A = this chain, B = another copy of it.
Amino acid sequence: MFESYTIKDIAKALGLSTSTVSRALNGSYEIGAETKKLVLEYAEKVNYRPNPIALSLKEQKSHSIGVVVCEVANNYFSQAINGIESIAYNRGYHVIITQTHESFDRECTNVKHLLSRHVDGLLVSLSAETTDTSQYQYLHEKGFPIVFFDRVAADVNTHKVIANNFKGSFDAAELLINTGFKKIAHLTSSNNLLITRERFNGFKAALDKHHLDFKPGYLKHCNQGGMIQDEIEFAIKELLSMDEKPEAIFIGSDRLTISCMHILKKLGIKVPDDIAIAGFTNSDVVELFDPPLTVIRQPAFQIGQLATEMLIKTIESKWPVEEFTTEQVETELIARSSSQKPR
């Protein structure tokens, strides 16, 4: 069962050469129908499976793709990885997952490691710390297939898959405004990330539309992307101790949203009575929270699938790919009681 037959075994058993067997198995036309049938039947009988490693060596392809994300234990990324795996599996690719934990150094190490593993392409979501994307630029120029998803590199002109962050933010902010909140803070990730800036822009646009001033003190960046609990706690405490305390917080990342809820609970702050909350998260259980959370959800699974399809298409393209597209998918706003006006 696991000691598998080789092409050589079949050749020997059938009194043929290995090349003939290979041709039969690969449906080559320059082969006798008789012989072909014979080989195919025998291969079926002994349950022949080509050795993927030998194939890889021959084809100079590893049939594996490298994934770089900040962390797996994150609702968004675990769902995206699910999507990645679902496509990769069907197309015969391994997926090698690496985590940056929001560190640029780790990101570089991971990319090097994946390249030394001879992955055929890279699926990347940048770390919160990353500003230098030259390694990707270099690889991309050399023709190495890379697809960015979610946290994309603005200055590398390759395939990208992103959510409509602007609209997601805009909708959430507008919901808060329409509910009657005027003093809305924005807790978000590092400004290095393009998604952070897009989400801020959406938020700002909603304020503008409704003629509300944006107060710089209401904008809090967690430059570690929320990997350090103290960073978030500090930002929240600052917001809560302001003279003009915000009535609501709109949160710009999955991890921050969940962490914020933990911290507010710890501090004994009531949501939405003391402060209302709305944020990006892909958690499936937020409806069970106290209070149920108002969230912006991204189609993470679909994003993972899309990115993987684009990557494999690039990998398998016969010609150097010159045209690169950016796919944008829509987010979904789900209103629950965490963003309600306290009575």
Q: What are the residues of chain B within 8 A of A116 when measuring CB–CB?
A: 4, 49, 52
A94 → B minimal CB distance (Å): 6
Q: Does A182 contact B (CB under 8 A)?
A: no
Q: Is the CB of A73 within 8 A of B79?
A: yes
Number of residues on chain A facing chain B (CB within 8 A)? 47
Tell me the A115-154 residues at the B interface (CB within 8 Å).
115-118, 135, 138-139, 142, 144
The interface stretch among A22-30, A53-61, A312-320 is: A53-61
Tell which of B51, B73, B262, B265 touches A118, judged by Cβ atoms closer than 8 Å: B51
A189 → B minimal CB distance (Å): 19
User: Chain B residue with minimal CB distance to A74?
Assistant: B78
Q: Does A332 contact B (CB under 8 A)?
A: no
Q: Is the CB of A118 within 8 A of B52?
A: yes
Write the residues of chain A forming the contact surface with B, with a CB cutoff of 8 angstroms: 1-4, 49, 51-54, 56-57, 62, 64, 72-73, 78-79, 81-82, 85, 89, 94-98, 115-118, 135, 138-139, 142, 144, 258, 261-262, 265, 283, 285, 287-292
> 17 pairs across A/B with beta carbons < 8 Å?
A1-B115, A2-B144, A3-B142, A49-B116, A52-B116, A53-B56, A54-B57, A72-B81, A72-B82, A73-B78, A73-B79, A73-B82, A89-B98, A262-B288, A265-B287, A285-B285, A288-B289
